[in-house]
């Protein structure tokens, strides 16, 4: 028998989340961001469910290749563009858009002899200071790119927010103002908002929005779950109890004996651990659902196993299902206990987890 850890992907949730993103986008086109294997939900699976998206955003040309091989014909944008000159031919062959964020890429394009016009997105660094051209260089780079024979002159102007999940933060206001100033006299569509930009920064819509997290029902807004924001979780991670024992008061559970039983009590063991992608940083007290009842893990997360305080579910027995996150339990809550964000958890599932599709609604 294979291991019991199971990631159920709810295709209907993905579709409804896209429809909700569209409402928020108010007419702007929607790029569905599917980097990191669709935030861990499965690249091709997500793209098939979200065929209505106006484009897909991927982190690497290899992901574009996978989508084309799967028969996806939507526009696909490689969010960090070419990594080396040879990538230009590959982008053309696969009909992928490229984000241009660095002078080295402009030089490769200028030296390139390819003729089929490449569609480009010009990334402007308005304050995140990760990728992009400084505002004072944008007009010159834009003109240079438009003049190249192998470039489609219809270039999308984009920027990325550093802190749009904090709705009262001046940094985003400043980033929008810098973007507006530098693009005022340039032709081309605008693309600013990520998921949090879409929720909290109506001025940041432009003609394109780039949504990732919300499509999967994930929130990065502190203290809010995806459901709080009107989105549905697209992944339910579950496993089975493989042991239930009564452990005596004063005894310790798990590696390093970090947790002590306050009374004689039932302790369950479920077949999932950090070898499956369940976070090792999840401390005692992190919630799980057992037979629809909220329980908590106790002791250290092991490679293959977690221990669960079953006092809230005293009838639980071997074979019963344990939900780690998803429909019954917001992944944001688990992420908070594990001192990380929901994205990190859904992206972290390992090959050992069995993925199944729920297309029931």
Ligand X SMILES: *Cc1c(COP(=O)(O)O)cnc(C)c1O
**Structure tokens, 34:** 């599917």
- 3-class state of residue 193 by DSSP: coil
Listed in sequence order, the residues at least 6 apart from 143 whose beta carbon sits closer than 8 Å to its beta carbon are none
Rounded Cα distance, 53 and 18, in Å:
8
Between 81 and 266, whose beta carbon lies closer to ligand X? 81
Please say whether the beta carbons of 222 and 335 come within 8 A.
no
Rounded Cα distance, 317 and 176, in Å:
55
Rounded Cα distance, 3 and 9, in Å:
18
236 vs 48, 62, 66, 291, 321, CA distance in Å? 19, 27, 25, 14, 12
- 3-class state of residue 301 by DSSP: coil
Please say whether the beta carbons of 65 and 89 come within 8 A.
no
Closest separation between CB of residue 304 and ligand X, Å? Answer: 30
Closest separation between CB of residue 57 and ligand X, Å? Answer: 6
Rounded Cα distance, 55 and 95, in Å:
12
**Structure tokens, 293:** 């009842």
Assign residue 76 a region: left if phi > 0, alpha if psi is -120 to 50, beta otherwise? beta
Rounded Cα distance, 253 and 134, in Å:
54
Between 81 and 254, whose beta carbon lies closer to ligand X? 81
- Which residues of the shown chain bind ligand X in the complex (CB under 6 A)? 33, 35, 79, 160, 194-196, 210-213, 220
Closest separation between CB of residue 194 and ligand X, Å? Answer: 4
Closest separation between CB of residue 138 and ligand X, Å? Answer: 17
Task: Return the bridge partners of 321, or none.
Answer: 240
- Give the nearest residue (CB) to ligand X: 212
Between 304 and 344, whose beta carbon lies closer to ligand X? 344
Between 276 and 344, whose beta carbon lies closer to ligand X? 344
Which residues are the active-site residues?
Answer: 35, 255
Between 226 and 273, whose beta carbon lies closer to ligand X? 226
Task: Return the bridge partners of 118, or none.
Answer: 151
Rounded Cα distance, 58 and 62, in Å:
9
Between 105 and 195, whose beta carbon lies closer to ligand X? 195
């Amino acid at each position: 028998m294979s291991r019991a850890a199971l990631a159920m992907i709810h295709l209907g949730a993905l579709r409804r989340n896209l429809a909700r993103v569209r409402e928020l986008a108010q007419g702007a086109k929607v790029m569905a961001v599917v980097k990191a294997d669709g935030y861990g939900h499965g690249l091709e699976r997500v793209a098939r469910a979200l065929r209505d998206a106006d484009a897909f955003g991927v982190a690497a040309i290899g992901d574009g290749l996978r989508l084309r091989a799967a028969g996806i014909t939507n526009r696909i944008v490689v969010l960090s563009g070419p990594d080396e000159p040879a990538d230009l031919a590959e982008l053309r062959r696969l009909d992928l858009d490229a984000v241009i964020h660095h002078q080295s890429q402009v030089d490769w394009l200028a030296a390139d002899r390819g003729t089929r016009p490449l569609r480009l997105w010009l990334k402007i660094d308005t304050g995140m200071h990760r990728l992009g051209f400084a505002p004072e260089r944008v007009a010159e780079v834009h003109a240079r790119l438009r003049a190249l024979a192998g470039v489609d002159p219809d270039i999308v102007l984009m920027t990325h927010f550093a802190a749009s999940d904090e709705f009262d933060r001046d940094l985003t206001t400043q980033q929008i103002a810098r973007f507006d100033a530098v693009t005022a006299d340039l032709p081309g569509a605008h693309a600013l908002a990520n998921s949090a930009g879409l929720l909290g920064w109506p001025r940041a819509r432009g003609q394109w929005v780039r949504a990732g997290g919300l499509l999967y029902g994930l929130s990065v807004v502190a203290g809010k779950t995806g459901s709080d924001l009107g989105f549905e979780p697209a992944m339910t991670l579950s496993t089975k109890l493989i042991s239930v024992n009564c452990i005596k008061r004063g005894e310790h559970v798990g590696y390093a004996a970090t947790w002590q039983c306050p009374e004689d009590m039932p302790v369950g063991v479920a077949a999932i651990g950090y070898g499956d992608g369940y976070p090792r940083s999840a401390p005692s007290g992190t919630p799980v659902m057992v037979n629809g009842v909220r329980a908590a893990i106790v002791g250290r997360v092991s490679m293959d196993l977690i221990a669960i305080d079953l006092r809230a579910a005293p009838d639980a027995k071997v074979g019963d299902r344990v939900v780690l996150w998803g429909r019954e339990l917001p992944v944001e809550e688990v992420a908070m206990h594990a001192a990380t964000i929901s994205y990190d958890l859904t992206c972290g599932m390992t090959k050992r987890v069995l993925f199944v599709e729920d297309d029931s609604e």
